[in-house]
Amino acid sequence: MQEVKQVVVQEAMPIGTTVGEFIIRQQADFPHATGELSSLLSSIELAAKIVNREINRAGLSHHILGSMGQTNVQGEEQQKLDWYANEQFKLALAARGEVCGLASEEEEEFVAFDPLQGRHSKYVVLIDPLDGSSNIDVNVSVGTLFSIYRRLTPVNTPVQQQDFLQTGRAQVAAGYIIYGSSTMLVYSTGRGVNGFTLDPSIGSFCLSHPQMQIPPQGRIYSINEGNYLKFPAGVKQYLKFCQAIDAHEGRPYTARYIGSLVADVHRNLLKGGIYLYPSGSNAPQGKLRLLYECNPLALLIEQAGGLATDGVTPILDLQPQALHQRTPFYAGSREMVLQLQQLLAQYGH
């Protein structure tokens, strides 16, 4: 199984280093950039702060809560905050000129930024602006997911769909923002994973979790067991394995499922565990989006020492065929994912 090689940053950054300082001091992480990627990441940071402000005020600003009264391209009811977050990230990414196009879970087609206007834009961004937005009404953590790629087509030409349909291995950077009891930005440029917590007193994301590593073995499994009857046989066998008593291996494991993808994966990244979203009779290809959700999380998980797979193939090796392609998704602690894969191979996936 091919995996992303981990590279530990040699220079230790002190806790509290702002993300801006961190990016500047780690320019060596960006072999293809002369500042553009740093500026791009700063755009994402800015939009995240604006979205965070609205999320924190949501209980007082009822105009931003609830449904738009329409569905998005995914066939899901679009929340007002989904639309708001999507617009903020589009505006922030278009403003500085480093991005030639964006693909979003909330957009039916990709969005081209100012084609042929003389800007030497090298990058495209794929984004889930607000994952789990239906949980905001009940004050549960939600998040933003993003992937950054170098475009394949020549600069100063219109961006094309092929620029977005790249494998996860081609990601230049990826990450998420989790809006919870604290707001965190977690990202990787292929040289480890670092987490930054928003300090509201100064309005900056500050290094709080350097060189994050997921424990190789965890005791948490995260899955919506309400869909048990629709799960593949191999997944059912794995759940039986998780629930079986084995004092030597520390089983039964603990079930923890928030229902907000970023929050579930974030917890397991810190504490160890496995996240499972299999295919089912209502979602024969899986429900999670490969480009907007699975690829960025898979990069982070592999960079932190874990594994991410569709049950057969590493997520990062899947060749996307469509912008809104879906896939089964299993990610987390290395030993737990390997055990799952054995059962999927034996009983079916």
Do 49 and 152 belong to one domain? yes
Distance CA 170, CA 324 (A): 18
Rg of the chain (C-alpha set): 19
Do 165 and 260 belong to one domain? no
Domain membership of residue 214 (yes or no) is no
According to DSSP, residue 31 is labeled T
Flag whether 347 is marked binding.
no
100-112: pLDDT as tens digits: 999 999 999 999 9
Flag whether 201 is marked binding.
no
Say which CATH number the domain at 82 has: 3.30.540.10
262-315: pLDDT as tens digits: 999 999 999 999 999 999 877 888 999 999 999 999 999 999 999 999 999 999
**pLDDT-derived band of residue 8, with 50, 70 and 90 as boundaries?**
very low
Distance CA 137, CA 1 (A): 41
Flag whether 330 is marked binding.
no
Report the domain count for the chain: 2
The domain of 51 spans: 19-209
Q: Which tokens go with 118?
A: 């003389």
Cβ–Cβ under 8 Å, residues 166 and 153: no
Flag whether 128 is marked binding.
yes
Say which CATH number the domain at 335 has: 3.40.190.80
Residue with tokens 């693909």: 103
Flag whether 340 is marked binding.
no
pLDDT above 80 (res 2):
no
Flag whether 52 is marked binding.
no
Cβ–Cβ under 8 Å, residues 328 and 310: yes
Do 66 and 92 belong to one domain? yes
SS3 39: helix
Q: Which tokens go with 217?
A: 């073995």
Flag whether 292 is marked binding.
no
Helix axes 80-96, 36-56, angle to 10 degrees: 150
DSSP for 261-298, written as a single string: HHHHHHHHHHH--EEEE--BTTBTT-SEEIIIIIHHHH
Flag whether 43 is marked binding.
no
Torsion angles phi and psi, residue 85, rounded to 5: -65, -40
Do 43 and 119 belong to one domain? yes
Domain membership of residue 235 (yes or no) is yes
Percent of the chain with pLDDT over 90: 66
